Chain A
Amino acid sequence: MSRLSDHNVAIAKEIIGHYPKQKSALIPLVHLSQEQNGYVTKDAMRHIAELVNVTPAEVLGTASFYEMFKFEPVGKYVVNVCTTLSCALLGAGELLHHAEEKLGVKAGGTTADGLITLEPAECQAACTEAPCLQVNYRHKYRVTHDDFDQMVDDLRSGKLESEIPAHGTLGMQRQHIPDDKGVGAVHPDDVVGGPVWIPVAVEPDTEGASK
């Protein structure tokens, strides 16, 4: 059941078409499968392997390198509390402890109702707004303990449903290149000659050619 749906296979094929080599679509497709299933399933990895023409082991080999891919079910909401320097200077450690107490799980765990997974995280590029956290990779800034409690209550009551999609959905917008507008990706070995707008006589650069 966790292979990609027909709808997602169509999206997958468009994504694959964006790249000169199929394997480049591997990470975007693992994201797509995670969007569909909430985590990366074995069947999905087998399916992706078929789609990009590699072995399932290669899909796992690549996917297991990346932190955002979860290979076991996680909560609908993954809460990442930043613990790197700027946040740590302004109370990230205390916030993480508070979160553990509020949710009744240790960092890394998922609440009994399966709604929230709590994770310690590294720098989230919101250092001026410390301490910060992300819920499914959407920021919350300058989080006080009361803010955290309120956020958890809102997640539980479904108040944030329109703002924060379920875990796995990265962007609510997806790039789409219309057939009549796109140039199309060409396999690098099939490219002959430079782009048409580069006049052959005036190669744009000369220095460093031997590097």
Chain B
Amino acid sequence: MSHHTNSQGAETHDYIAGFYIGDRPKVVTSRFEYEDSHTLERFLATDGYEGLKKCLTMSPQEMHDEVRNSTVLGRGGAGFPAGVKWGFTPQGVWPRYLVVNGDESEPGTYKDRLLMERDPHQLIEGCLIACYAAGLSQCFLYVRGEMAVAQERIAAALNDAYAAGYIGKNILGTDFSVDIVLHWGAGAYVVGEETALIESLEGERGMPRLKPPFFPAAVGLYGKPTIVNNVETLANLPFVAINGSAAYTAIGTPTSPGTRMVAVSGHVKRPGVYEIVNGSTTFRDIIYGDEFSQGIRDGNDIKAFVPGGGSAPWFVEDQLDIPFEGKEASAAGSMLGSGAIMVMDATTDIPAAAYTLTKFYAHESCGKCTPCREGGTWLMRMLERVIAGHGTDADLDQMREVGQTICPGDMPHASSERLGLEAVPFPYKMTTICFVGPSAWAPLHSALTLFPEEFEARVTKVPKRVSIPVTALSGADA
């Protein structure tokens, strides 16, 4: 059952805009070919809750080991192995909670929403497996507020699963009892950061917590050990429970096993969401491959692409042959993040494109850390000025200075043969608590570094500022 293939090959369906089923291994999208994939009937008819049943025949420790051995990497952005994360809970401290991060809002990212809308029971089953294995006694499913359909589908799925005895007291007649609560978000990108998510779930403003403690697994919701997992991460677990970790690691590469959901958008012929084989599929495959996005619109040249969501430094043509693999992407100066590729063709106005992202992060700053709160808006205003043709080269210097304040030291960027640039590997250093600050700088930094001529052509050169003393300082050691 593990490798459903669709005889129609890569086809899409009008009930599922943007998703293309391919002739590839399917871990999380095996039911997407059915229009009623979100119903309990279809779920049960396609091995639904079989992973839970199998899990309940194993000890929690055995199930945990299975997940650890599968090396399912976190799909929210950081790529941390889920089984290892679960192991960070301190011994003997109870209760422990599971918080599901369904607050997907990273620009370009578009996979958790599909997984929640198209297969809510698979996510619920993943939550139950995690709760069983890690001894988590209550689960909160935090879903982004702006996803009305996902909320409805999950609410209906939870109600059906409760009625059928898959959630709640004594699940399937065993000792295992857990509640899953659907929690509505209310519109704040920063809540995707796990400590901000917890603050929000506690009824507070969604601002990230000071670190340390670094991991909510130690101190999380209500100060108790809390596992925060991404929707896609949990959706992988039923497959692991049913087929075992060996079947999972048989797909993909040793460092990046399994599959990944990748959304390709922008100037490609066939923008879409694809479940790809992890680690080995290259960006060229994804952007130009027939079974994926089929190349750039109108036969244009590619100018740049964002490899891993709006926060990621940009890649250019030179990086197309890099595989979709975390370590390789880092070495090349960026990250895979949330699996969102945004493609810009030769007609793209680079400063204007960077502006849409700088504006996003300036808007979404929670205001807790000064470099992000002030820096993001400052970068946005300077960029507005430059795009409008009122900027000077001093603005460009000032942008770099503000960027240095957010991310001191060498900022990661891709190599460029055209400019004779070497790559600076990921990650960056940062002066803010969370990644929102650096994310306001990263796209603009990439644009300035890889396409300096587009900025310089827009600004007026002014003579270097000289300071003119108004009065002579006498006696002071000036």
Contacts and interface: CB of A to CB of B under 8 A. Distances in A.
B474 interface: no
Given A127-B263, A173-B155, A184-B179, A27 B148 contact: no
Contacts of B452: none
A87 B272 CA distance: 14
Contacts of B265: 86, 89, 127-128, 130
Interface string A11-52: 000000011110111111011000000000000000000001
Interface in B396-411: none
Interface in B157-214: 158-159, 162-163, 165, 167-169, 174-179, 181-189, 200-207, 213-214
Q: Is the interface of A mostly helix, strand, loop or mixed?
A: loop
A18 B155 CA distance: 14
Contact of B184 (A28, A89, A202): A28
B184 A197 contact: no
Interface centre among B61, B223, B266 (most CB of A within 10 A): B266
A86 B266 contact: yes
Given A89-B353, A178-B162, A197-B175, A211 B186 contact: no
A202 B60 contact: yes
Contact of B87 (A90, A124, A207): A207
Interface string A161-192: 00000000011111111101111111010011
B121 interface: no
Contacts of B186: 27, 30-31, 63, 66-69
A128 B222 contact: no
A211 B214 contact: yes
Contacts of A158: none
B152 interface: yes
Contacts of A129: 17-18, 271
Interface in B276-326: 306, 310
B20 to A, nearest CB: 9
B188 A65 contact: yes
A150 B18 CA distance: 22
B310 A20 contact: no
A138 interface: yes
A1 interface: no
B233 to A, nearest CB: 17
Contacts of B179: 18, 177, 182-185
Contact of B188 (A66, A86, A139): A66
Contact of A128 (B87, B110, B184): B110
Interface in A79-111: 80, 83-86, 88-90
B159 A23 contact: no
A126 interface: yes
A188 B92 contact: no
B175 A128 contact: no
B135 to A, nearest CB: 4
B60 A204 contact: yes
A27 B458 CA distance: 45
A67 B357 contact: no
Given A62-B205, A67-B188, A211-B88, A181 B169 contact: yes
Contacts of A211: 88, 90, 213-215, 217-218
A144 interface: no
Interface string B252-279: 0000000000011111000111000000
Contact of A193 (B94, B149, B272): B94
A61 B136 CA distance: 31
A126 B110 contact: yes
A209 B213 CA distance: 13
B77 to A, nearest CB: 14
Interface in B89-126: 89-92, 94-95, 104-110, 112-113
Contacts of A178: 162-163
Contacts of A170: 145, 148, 151, 184
Which A-B residue pairs are the 7 nearest by beta carbons?
A: A67-B187, A66-B186, A26-B203, A23-B203, A127-B265, A128-B271, A128-B18
Given A90-B267, A186-B95, A209-B91, 6 more contacts: A68-B146, A122-B105, A126-B113, A128-B110, A128-B271, A141-B17
26 contacts: A65-B207, A67-B187, A86-B342, A90-B266, A122-B107, A122-B360, A123-B106, A127-B107, A137-B145, A138-B148, A141-B17, A171-B151, A173-B151, A174-B155, A178-B163, A181-B167, A181-B169, A182-B179, A183-B177, A185-B179, A194-B135, A206-B91, A207-B88, A209-B89, A211-B214, A211-B217
Interface of A: 18-21, 23-28, 30-31, 52, 54, 61-63, 65-69, 80, 83-86, 88-90, 122-130, 134, 136-139, 141, 170-178, 180-186, 188, 191-199, 202-211
